[in-house]
Every structure is written in C-alpha cells, then in structure tokens.
C-alpha cells in the first residue's frame, strides 16, 4: 500500500491550515478551561526555572480588509465589527490596547529576568495598521522586557498592504523578518481562496523587503485548492523560488466547517480536493524545494540555512514560553496555558478596566507535556527523543522503523526522525508513539 493511499484512508499530515507562517492561529471556538484570575496571576510553579527557558511574544492583530473564503480564524472586517465593539474595537487605537497587555505581562511575570528571544506579529493582517503602530507595539516589549541581541522580530504581511516606505519603517523600527502570504501564483486559484492580491506582487515584495534591509523573508504557499492542477502548483513553487526568500512554508488547504469555501463545496460549486492529490503536491514541493537548496526542518517548513528557520515557531514546537497578546491569543508559561477573550471590544474593555483579558486556562500535567512534546517534536528534523516513549510507543516506533517511516541512523542514536514517507503520514505515526 503506497503512502498516498494510506493518507487517503484517514491519516493526517497537513500543517497549519492558515498558511500564514505561524502556529499561533485563533480558530472560531475557544477551548474550555478554568477561569483566569482578574489580575492574570500565574501559579508559582509556572515561574519556577523560567530563566532557563526562552521567552517569546505573539501579537495578534485581528483585522482584515476582506475575509478569505477558507478563513476560520479570529479575525474581523470593518463590516463585521460595525456596531459590535464601539470605539474599543477600532483599528485606530488598537496599538495602545495591545501595549496595555504587554504592560500587564510585565506585572504578571514580575521580576522574570529574561529578555525576549522572538516576537511574531500575526493576524488577521497586521499591515493594515500603520507601520508606526507595529513599531510602537514592538517598542513596548523592548521597554518592558528588553530584546535579546539576536532577537528574531517577524511580522506577517499582505502583499497589497505594504510598499517600500512601509517596509523601511518596519526595518528601522527593529523588525528583521517578514512573512508574505503568497498562497498561489495562479489567478484562478487565488480567486477560489478569495485572496485579493495579484499574481506577481508577493515576489515583488520579497525584493522590496530585501532592499529595505530585512535579513529573512518567508513566502507562504497553500496547495490543494479546488481547481488547482499539478502544473499550477509547480508554477507557484517556481515563482516563489524565483523570488529568492530564505524560507518557504507550504500547507495543505484544510476546509473548515462554517467557512465560505466549505459552503461552496457543499453546494457543489467547487470540488473537494482528493487526499491523494494532497500527498502528490507535498512530494512535488519537497522535490522542488530540496533541488533549490531548501531543507525541511518541520513537516511544512523549509529554509536555506539554520539561520533562516523560524525561531518563533520553534518555541511552540519545543514547548517553550510565550505570551500571546491580543483577542483570542493563546499563551503558555511553565506548563500553564491560557487564552484571551475573542472579540476586540471585549478584549479592549477588560484591559481598560484594569483586568486580564484571559477567558480561560489550563494547567498541564507532566503527562500532558510529555504527549505534547511527542506530538510537536516528531514533526521536526531533529525528531523526538525515544526516551519520551513508553513501552507501547517504543514498540510502535520499532514498527514504524521497519515500515520505512523513521530514519535508521537517528533511531540508533536515540531519536525518532521521520523519513519522507513518514512525513506524509506524520499524524498517523505520532498517534501510535504517544501510547
């Protein structure tokens, strides 16, 4: 049975469905959890040993000019916000509100000595805000915590919402990495996704970002859109590689219930992409990217060097600490995970009242953290230590090795590392290893 058919029979391997360069996505429903204290206080156990863990910040900007047909994230257009949040939900004063949460983070973390290692501004469309607003949000982190000398500072950007002057302002303000949502080079594919940029604009943005002095540039691609052909996907890869970013993310499109695209598929207006097609597209991506000098370091991410890897996402994948500021944003510090209220008006209202915007939290057990390490680290090029596996998981790892899903050399050295075929079946492999 080949890998494509096994994928079609129900195993999952796609990465972040957003294709927006970060794992910090805000889906439509928040999880259940215990209440967050009004002052946001964390248990002492969460801060124990904090100095030995890297700290990052995710800043969520929940605004979009239009809603893409596949989008199920916590984002809002002007029409969706009209009459629901008043002045508190305005883009004009959003930076001030987010700065208030950064200051709250400083109070909650107390005398935590860590400088911030990574900052990632995501959305939504962060570049709908003025460049000066993004710089001011970053400045609040610098003022309250300090930035590590080699800190990675990223923002996502819509290709149509930036120009050379905007990029120059970001770079002068401390941003050194930028992630452009390209998705596809083909107009008919962009139309299905309801993307508003024109083909060729993301590639031009890469050149503009380089000219502005950005050290690292990512292009996000999505494959498996209804109506996309293998040749369309190859054309998108060729266009992305021709632009010369040092990082490429390629994600399979996941059709979420409740989205416009899901409704169109249900009505029979566009076809659902076959699972075997998804697997073929992944193999096409791996072939093209590796031939161009890009190495995979996570199942859906490739970089030209270790320096080009997204350090912020690696905080998530390795279970480090991060504070997520903004409506619906999730945070994790020392085994405590919490999430903010979703609506920008409610978020701003809580902070204006001097309260935490947290909607709920959970305290992870040692077993929770062990399982999450396996789930996330298996997706990385370095793999997951076999020492984390229990007896049933070790037995499953031996089977995966014999089936060609894990690499022999790393296994003998004590780590489970996926082969290319294993990457196609990553979620199936990991489900066996966590037993």
Last residue in a domain, options 288, 303, 318: 318
| Shared-domain flag, residues 289 and 392 | no
* DSSP category for residue 380: B
**Residue listed under structure tokens 């709908």:** 128
C-alpha–C-alpha distance, residues 430 and 167, integer Å: 40
Domain membership flag for residue 231:
yes
Would you write out the chain's pLDDT as a tens digit for each of its 435 residues? 233 323 322 222 222 323 334 444 444 566 778 999 999 999 999 999 999 999 999 999 998 765 554 455 556 565 556 555 555 668 889 999 999 999 999 999 999 999 999 999 998 899 999 999 999 999 999 999 999 999 999 999 999 999 999 999 999 999 999 999 999 999 998 987 877 678 899 999 999 999 999 999 999 999 988 889 999 999 999 999 999 999 999 998 865 555 565 566 566 666 677 778 889 999 999 999 999 999 999 999 999 999 999 999 999 999 999 999 999 999 999 999 999 999 999 999 999 999 999 999 999 999 999 999 999 999 999 999 999 999 999 999 999 999 999 999 999 999 999 999 999 999 999 999 998
C-alpha–C-alpha distance, residues 221 and 206, integer Å: 14
Using left for φ > 0, alpha for ψ between -120 and 50, and beta otherwise, residue 269 falls in alpha
What is the reported pLDDT for 270? 65
Domain membership flag for residue 21:
no
What is the reported pLDDT for 6? 30
Domain membership flag for residue 28:
no
What is the reported pLDDT for 259? 57
What is the reported pLDDT for 25? 43
| Shared-domain flag, residues 279 and 210 | yes
Q: State the angle between helix axes of 344-352 and 94-109 in degrees (0 to 180), rounded to the nearest 10.
A: 60
Residues 273 and 253: beta-carbon distance below 8 Å: yes
| Shared-domain flag, residues 406 and 312 | no
First to last CA, the chain: 24
Domain membership flag for residue 109:
yes
> CA nearest 348: which of 368, 327, 321, 328?
327
Strands 336-340 and 330-333: antiparallel
Last residue in a domain, options 318, 349, 382: 318
What is the DSSP secondary-structure string of 2-57? -HHHHHHTT------TT-SS-S---BSSPPP-BPPPTT-PPPHHHHTTGGGS-EEE
Last residue in a domain, options 262, 287, 318: 318
Domain membership flag for residue 168:
yes
| Shared-domain flag, residues 312 and 372 | no
What is the reported pLDDT for 11? 25
Domain membership flag for residue 13:
no
CA angle 240, 159, 304 (to 5 degrees): 35
Helices (H), 226-343: 230-243, 260-266, 275-291, 311-317
What is the reported pLDDT for 124? 87
What is the reported pLDDT for 9? 23
Helices (H), 244-333: 260-266, 275-291, 311-317
Residues 245 and 221: beta-carbon distance below 8 Å: no
Domain membership flag for residue 341:
no
Residues 349 and 89: beta-carbon distance below 8 Å: no
Which residue segment(s) compose the domain that 157 sits in? 44-318
* DSSP category for residue 61: E
What is the reported pLDDT for 251? 93
Local structure of 90: helix, strand or coil: coil
Residues 171 and 212: beta-carbon distance below 8 Å: yes
| Shared-domain flag, residues 61 and 138 | yes
92: CATH: 3.20.20.70
Local structure of 71: helix, strand or coil: coil
CA dist 20 → 1, 23, 296, 306 (Å): 33, 8, 17, 20
Domain membership flag for residue 192:
yes
Number of domains in the chain: 2
C-alpha–C-alpha distance, residues 416 and 403, integer Å: 13
């Amino acid at each position: 049975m080949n890998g494509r058919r096994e994928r079609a029979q129900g195993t999952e391997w796609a990465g972040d469905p957003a294709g927006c360069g970060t794992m910090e996505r805000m889906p439509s429903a928040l999880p259940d959890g215990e209440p967050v204290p009004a002052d946001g206080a964390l248990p002492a156990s969460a801060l124990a040993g904090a100095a030995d863990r890297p700290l990052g910040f995710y800043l969520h900007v929940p605004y979009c000019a239009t809603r893409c047909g596949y989008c199920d994230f916590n984002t809002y257009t002007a029409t969706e916000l009209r009459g629901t949040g008043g002045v508190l939900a305005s883009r004009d004063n959003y930076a001030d509100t987010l700065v208030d949460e950064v200051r709250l983070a400083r109070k909650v973390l107390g005398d935590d000595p860590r400088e911030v290692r990574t900052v990632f501004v995501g959305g939504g469309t962060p570049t709908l805000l003025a460049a000066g607003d993004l710089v001011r949000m970053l400045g609040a982190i610098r003022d309250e915590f300090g930035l590590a000398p080699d800190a990675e500072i990223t923002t996502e950007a819509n290709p149509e919402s930036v120009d050379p002057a905007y990029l120059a302002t970001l770079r002068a303000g401390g941003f050194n990495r930028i992630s452009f949502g390209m998705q596809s080079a083909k107009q008919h594919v962009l139309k299905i996704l309801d993307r508003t940029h024109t083909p060729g604009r993301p590639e031009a943005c890469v050149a503009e970002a380089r000219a502005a002095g950005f050290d690292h540039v990512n292009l996000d691609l999505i494959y498996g859109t209804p109506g996309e052909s293998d040749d369309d996907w190859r054309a998108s890869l060729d266009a992305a590689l021709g632009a010369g970013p040092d990082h490429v993310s390629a994600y399979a499109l996941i059709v979420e219930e409740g989205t416009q695209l899901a409704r169109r598929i249900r009505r029979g207006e566009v076809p659902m992409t076959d699972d075997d097609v998804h697997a073929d597209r992944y193999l096409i991506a791996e072939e093209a990217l590796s031939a161009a000098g890009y190495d995979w370091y996570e199942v859906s991410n490739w970089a030209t060097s270790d320096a080009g890897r997204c350090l912020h996402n690696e905080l998530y994948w390795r279970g480090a600490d991060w504070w997520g500021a903004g409506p619906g944003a999730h945070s994790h510090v020392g085994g405590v995970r919490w999430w903010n209220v979703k609506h920008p008006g409610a978020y701003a209202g809580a902070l204006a009242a001097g309260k935490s915007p947290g909607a709920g939290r959970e305290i992870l057990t040692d077993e929770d953290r062990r399982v999450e390490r396996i789930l996330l680290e298996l997706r990385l090029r370095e793999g997951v230590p076999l020492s984390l596996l229990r007896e049933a998981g070790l037995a499953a790892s031996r089977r995966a090795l014999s089936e060609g899903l894990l690499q022999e050399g790393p296994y003998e050295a004590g780590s489970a590392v996926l082969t290319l075929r294993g990457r196609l079946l990553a979620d199936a492999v990991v489900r066996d290893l966590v037993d």
